[in-house]
């Protein structure tokens, strides 16, 4: 299959991705109930949008060529001028299987390394 094919991919959100979401949720929980409610709404929409995008266009993100995420693909979710509200998402495309594993999500301003 080529990048231009019309094949749909299955998107899987890994345990590591879920742990990262838990950490983001904990941050927003510290900000108060209204902020946490806002996050729950955003989280669901974000996951749905990532699933829609990557199932149709798994090569949308750029290929990471160096560092801890070398070989992964990366895309930024969000268009906010507030960097904390934008997220960098790392994922792997398994072309032969038609699968995409969403591995990690970090706030765009983060300098943290990927958990192992």
CA distance 50 to 30: 26
What pLDDT, on a 0 to 100 scale, did the predictor assign at position 85? 66
CB 74 within 8 A of CB 61: yes
Whole-model pTM: value is 0.79
Render each residue's pLDDT in the chain as its tens digit; 116 residues: 445 456 789 999 999 999 999 998 998 899 899 988 988 888 888 899 999 999 999 999 999 999 888 999 999 888 765 555 688 899 999 999 999 999 998 887 655 554 44
């Amino acid at each position: 299959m080529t990048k231009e094919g019309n094949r749909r991919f299955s998107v899987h959100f890994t345990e590591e991705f879920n742990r990262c979401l838990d950490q983001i949720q904990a941050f927003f929980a510290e900000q108060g109930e209204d902020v946490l409610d806002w996050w729950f709404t955003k989280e669901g929409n974000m996951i749905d949008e990532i699933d829609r995008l990557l199932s149709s266009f798994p090569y949308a993100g750029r290929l990471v060529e160096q560092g801890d995420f070398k070989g992964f693909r990366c895309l930024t979710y969000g268009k906010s001028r507030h960097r904390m509200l934008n997220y960098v998402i790392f994922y792997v495309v398994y072309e032969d299987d038609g699968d995409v594993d969403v591995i990690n999500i970090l706030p765009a301003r983060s300098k943290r390394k990927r958990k192992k």
